Amino acid sequence: MITLDQFNFSGKRAVVRVDFNVPLHKTTFEVTDDIRIRSAVPTIKKILADGGSVVLMSHLGRPKEGPEDKYSLRHIVSTVEKNLGISIQFASDCIGEEAETLANNLKAGEVLLLENLRFYKEEEKGNLEFAQKLAKLGNVYVNDAFGTAHRAHASTAVMAQFFTDKVCGYLMQAELDNAKKVLDEVQHPYTAIMGGAKISDKILIIERLLDKVDNLIIGGGMAYTFFKAMGGEIGKSLVEADRLELAKELIEKAKAKGVNLLLPSDSKIADAFSNDANAEYAQNDAIKADYMGLDIGPDAIKVFSETVASSKTILWNGPMGVFEMPNFAAGTQAIANAVVKATEENGAFSLIGGGDSAAAISQMGMADRVSYVSTGGGALLEYMEGKELPGVVALQ
């Protein structure tokens, strides 16, 4: 795979697939979190500094039937300009005459942003003709969109075949390098923290991690399926009734492999799914019938935090509770503190695995105090499950 530093973009027009699928304000359409745009800046600046020009392509949201203004990438132009420190051009379509004319007239140091790729159904279908039209817009292909690398879409994988020069962007490279540190280049003790709602979403990665980790911490909604499987009373807590046998199997597998499987002993429980609900603490095998667990409790926080703080390698994927509600954010906050402590005081390598964990650590202002925050939730999980990512394979 050719990396950015191995390629000179002087006189080249690079078509760069970025992941600018950023959240927008519901009424003003202003960008509310620009981390994905900021993450792509070093790649864009390297190409421009070499004396090249850049055509940026991305999707935004999930448009159903063709163009919709709320999903237009024109809303992000000013944020991209602010981050790059230069004016950029915008094409109101991602293929066709206007896009081709603007691309062909780009001078060294200039940037063109194309309209949302997913305004065409052909993008997600991986349509060959659509990919070829996109490929007309430049003479080097750069993929820096790790967040969509697990999709075999026209822009993320299929169009690469129309280029002689295919280059891996800085963000894509950093994502792959950092994922390797929790897969192959591991320092022990190694602790994986799995949170979120469902075991079924994480089953493959949990099974793979059982061959690698010393400690596996389970928190969030998925923990209650384990307690139910062990015969506990979990009240109205989230449960996957069809996964009870699977939960038992995972407990047995962890034992057989000598992995320390840590389940939260207690929870902060509530009588409704609301920040203002009546709340109290309970042991996880004895939750009242009309209550539900919405966060890990103080005993679990203590045990989990101590385990994390003494680790040398940490992977965190998924919150410990409903952290969006301030009254049920303590568990996730405590884990974030423990991860930061291990990183800063124990020299641990800590990888925050995209999605809700990345949102939580950013919201708590700690993103720059851990080793790496992944921008790709689904892509990172699939890579760690051992699956080949079409976007990575296309660059090889």
Q: Which residues are catalytic?
A: 36, 198, 355, 378
Is 213:207 a contact under the CB 8 Å cutoff? no
- Alpha-carbon distance of 369 to 278, in angstroms, equals 34
- Alpha-carbon distance of 88 to 84, in angstroms, equals 9
Give a three-class secondary structure readout of the chain. Answer: CEEHHHCCCCCCEEEEECCCCCCECCCCCCECCCHHHHHHHHHHHHHHHCCCEEEEECCCCCCCCCCCHHHCHHHHHHHHHHHHCCCCEEECCCCCHHHHHHHHCCCCCCEEEECCHHHCHHHHHCCHHHHHHHHCCCCEEEECCHHHCCCCCCCCCHHHHHCCCEEECHHHHHHHHHHHHCCCCCCCCEEEEECCCCHHHHHHHHHHHCCCCCEEEECCCCHHHHHHHCCCEECCCCCCHHHHHHHHHHHHHHHHCCCEEECCCEEEEECCCCCCCCEEEEECCEECCCCEEEEECHHHHHHHHHHHHCCCEEEEECCCCCCCCHHHCHHHHHHHHHHHHHHHHHCCEEEECCHHHHHHHHHCCCHHHCCEECCCHHHHHHHHCCCCCHHHHCCC
Match 């105090």 to its residue by tokens: 369
Tokens of 244: 């009870």
Checking DSSP bridges between strand 140-143 and strand 13-17, what pairing results, if any? parallel
Tokens of 91: 């094409």
Tokens of 53: 């020009």
- Alpha-carbon distance of 308 to 314, in angstroms, equals 7
Angle at 106 between CA 104 and CA 112, to 5 degrees: 100
